[in-house]
Structure 1
């Protein structure tokens, strides 16, 4: 199996993704065999500062530092279990010595595969309001929607101040849940890898695209497929 490199932007999302890789691998081979993986994280504030300033060049440079470290320990390809950094994906792909899986394209493909025509995108405010998914979904004739400004504020608070620091308030979760259920859409994209900690199809009452687990499943498939060639250059 190929060695998976994981760039850890937020540890909750990265660990959820890594755990799902292992859980899915066990379903294939009950002996416990799974791909080797290595995770690297700089301090979250370094990524967060770039995101707040929408400095995608600096963010790409920081992520590529992680990728070069992962390359040194033998990673064959890289995943980034975080949606927002994909605003910098073109720069990351250009400067990365390893293949980097594009989460946004995988999610759009999944929406198309499941026949969705109108989807609600959740995430931090910049992901929602700056249209991270707009172009790729529209190219597949899927209409992206985002919540109203006040709901975006609530979701931003939930992610940054409750889920990431592991201080979840059930009242906040339920309030947003009720807001989301009011939207007329075919499905909801959990466009932040921490959101599956609190939301799923059962409590939202709508089909959900879980970007964290979807990325894990794709990474496992890629790690197990000997017929796929990956780039590796200095």
Structure 2
């Protein structure tokens, strides 16, 4: 199996993704066999400073530094278990000599496969309000629904100040949960890899696209394939 390189932006999401790779592999092979993977992270504040300033060039360059390190230890392809950094995906793909999985495209393809026409996009405030998913969903005739400003603020607070530092207040979780249920949509994109730690189809009462686990399953599939040579090959799948 191929060696997966994981760029860890937020360790909560990256570890959830890595754990899902192992768990899914165990369903396919009870011997405990799973792909080799290596994870690299700079201090989170270095990423967050770029995101706060919406400096996608600096963020892409920082992620590329991780990719170069992962390439040195033998990674065959790269995953980035974090949605917001995909504002820099074009730059990252151009710089990287290794194939980089585009999470946003995978999520949109899954929405199309499941026949959704209206999806509520959750994530960081930047992901939601700056339209990370808008173009790719619109190209598939899927309408992205974005929460109101006050709900976006609540979700941003939950992610930044509660989930990432492991200080979850379930009153916050439940308050947002009730907000989510008011939206007219076919499904909910958990467009932040930390959100599956608190939300799922059961407590939201709607179909959910779990971007973290979807990425893990896709990475496992690629790790088991015979041929993987370029970003173009990934983009065509």
- Do both proteins adopt the same fold according to a TM-score greater than 0.5, normalized to the shorter chain? yes
Q: TM-score range by the shorter chain?
A: over 0.9
In 1, Cα distance between equivalents of 2:151 and 2:60: 29
Matches within 5 A, 1:111-122: 111-122=111-122
Matches within 5 A, 1:205-224: 205-224=205-224
Structure 2 partner of 1:11: 11
Structure 2 partner of 1:159: 159
The 3-state SS of whatever aligns with 1:38 is strand
Over 4 Å off, 4+ runs: none
Cα shift at 1:229? 2.8
In 2, Cα distance between equivalents of 1:200 and 1:180: 12
Cα shift at 1:125? 0.3
Structure 2 partner of 1:185: 185
Structure 2 length normalisation: TM-score? 0.97
Question: Any conservation in 1 of the 2:99–2:229 contact (CA below 8 Å)?
Answer: no
In 2, Cα distance between equivalents of 1:133 and 1:62: 22
Structure 1 partner of 2:73: 73
In 1, Cα distance between equivalents of 2:190 and 2:18: 17
Structure 1 length normalisation: TM-score? 0.98
The 3-state SS of whatever aligns with 2:206 is coil
In 2, Cα distance between equivalents of 1:9 and 1:228: 24
Structure 1 partner of 2:235: none
Question: Any conservation in 2 of the 1:108–1:136 contact (CA below 8 Å)?
Answer: yes
Question: Any conservation in 2 of the 1:7–1:80 contact (CA below 8 Å)?
Answer: yes
Cα shift at 1:113? 0.2
Matches within 5 A, 1:52-63: 52-63=52-63
In 1, Cα distance between equivalents of 2:105 and 2:179: 27
Structure 2 partner of 1:47: 47
Question: Any conservation in 2 of the 1:76–1:230 contact (CA below 8 Å)?
Answer: no
In 2, Cα distance between equivalents of 1:161 and 1:152: 14
In 2, Cα distance between equivalents of 1:58 and 1:64: 10
Matches within 5 A, 1:189-200: 189-200=189-200
In 2, Cα distance between equivalents of 1:156 and 1:229: 37
The 3-state SS of whatever aligns with 1:196 is helix
- Matched residues, number: 231
In 2, Cα distance between equivalents of 1:52 and 1:230: 31
In 1, Cα distance between equivalents of 2:228 and 2:165: 38
Calculate the aligned-residue CA RMSD, in Å: 0.6
Structure 1 partner of 2:92: 92
The 3-state SS of whatever aligns with 1:120 is strand
Cα shift at 1:148? 0.4
Question: Any conservation in 1 of the 2:193–2:211 contact (CA below 8 Å)?
Answer: yes
